[in-house]
Structure 1
Amino acid sequence: MPLGIVIRRSPGVTRWARWSWKATSVLPGAADADWREIRVEGDVTEFHAGTLPLEMHGADAEAYMHGLSAEVPCVYVVLRESDVADKPFEVLLVTASPYEAQDYADNGEDLVEKVPMPEGLVAWVRDFAMAHHEDEEFKKRRRDKKRIDKVEDGIGDERISQISDVYRSPASAKRRRLH
């Protein structure tokens, strides 16, 4: 499904940042756009920065279910700084998977914005996730039947002749002999 990405530019709150940029909403089914101005209120301007496809994969159904279980279901918009003056960010990705968004957030180069999903998009993602989600059956781990009362070979350092401390290092044994 194509999603238009709306980015808001507002005045910065410090003297070091002239503008503050934030992805604020998505437009399901939007046509292509390239930083088209859609609203101006005083110093605040909203742009339709671009339209990207929201791709869903059956293997990620668990991640979608996790995202939908949040108090406010969201999509994640991944932005990367651009060298072009009139297009300060390149819109890389839009995803409904919080796991995929976390991967992009971990690299430190990209800006990941959490944007609330419109109701129709929530229903669309939920239908897809429910159709592809498979509950994994809980498998209780069983204890090994290994015998622990046998003689253990290979513990410690064989260069230490004392049986009292098999984990002691050879260097500490040499020091004791010298003193």
Structure 2
Amino acid sequence: MPLGIVLRRTPGVTRWARWSWKAVAVLPGAGSADWRELRRDGDVIEYHAATRTLELYAAETEAYMHGLAARIPSVYVVMRPVLGQHPFDILLVTASPFEAQDYSDSAEDIVEKVPMTPGLVAWVGEFVDLFHRGESFVKRQRDKRRVDLRQDGIGDPRIGKAADVYASPRLMRSRLS
């Protein structure tokens, strides 16, 4: 599903940051856009920065369920700061909080959490209902094999040893003297 990404620019509160940017909304089914101004209120401007496709995968339904169960179901917008006319390159939008966490581990990308619209919540929920396969818990059973009867891993047998490898150093010195 194509999602338009809405970014809001507000004046910065410090002398080091002239502007503050935040992803504030998504527009489901939006057409293509390249930083089109949507709204202006003094110095505060909202832009339809880009449109990215929200792709859902059957293998990720557990992550989507986790995101839908949150107090406020959200999508995550991944942006990368760039130099040029516009401050960010919108990399992708995802409904998976696990994928968003992977991107936030990098210091290069900015991940913004944006609330889903009710229609988007229904669309992702329907996808999860269709494709989610719950995994049942299977307790691992120990085998009956006795692994403690054989000594293994005491060192390389090709290398000669002056004494028992388990002997304390003081006992080994007295034997060598």
Change (3 A) 1:50 1:156: same
Deviation for aligned residue 1:43: 1.6
Aligned with 1:24: secondary structure?
A: strand
Give the letter aligned to residue 35 of structure 2. W
Matched positions, count: 173
Aligned runs of 1:56-67 on 2, under 5 Å?
56-67=56-67
In structure 1, the partner of 2:83 is 83
Name structure 1 gaps, 5 residues minimum. Answer: none
Name structure 2 gaps, 5 residues minimum. Answer: none
8 Å CA contact 1:23, 1:77 repeated in 2: yes
Q: Hey, what's the Cα distance between the residues in 2 that align with 1:143 and 1:114?
A: 44
Answer yes or no: is 1:109 the counterpart of 2:111: no
8 Å CA contact 1:74, 1:117 repeated in 2: yes
Deviation per residue, 1:51-107 (Å, 9 max, x gap): 11111111111111111111111000010112222x111111001011111121122
In structure 1, the partner of 2:163 is 161
Q: Hey, what's the Cα distance between the residues in 2 that align with 1:174 and 1:108?
A: 55
TM normalised by structure 2 equals 0.87
Answer yes or no: is 1:72 the counterpart of 2:91: no
TM normalised by structure 1 equals 0.86
Amino-acid identity (%)? 60
Change (3 A) 1:2 1:150: same
Q: Hey, what's the Cα distance between the residues in 1 that align with 2:155 and 2:84?
A: 63
8 Å CA contact 1:30, 1:51 repeated in 2: yes
Q: Hey, what's the Cα distance between the residues in 1 that align with 2:5 and 2:31?
A: 11
Aligned alpha-carbon RMSD (Å): 2.4
Q: Where does structure 1 differ by over 4 angstroms across 4 or more consecutive aligned residues?
A: 172-179
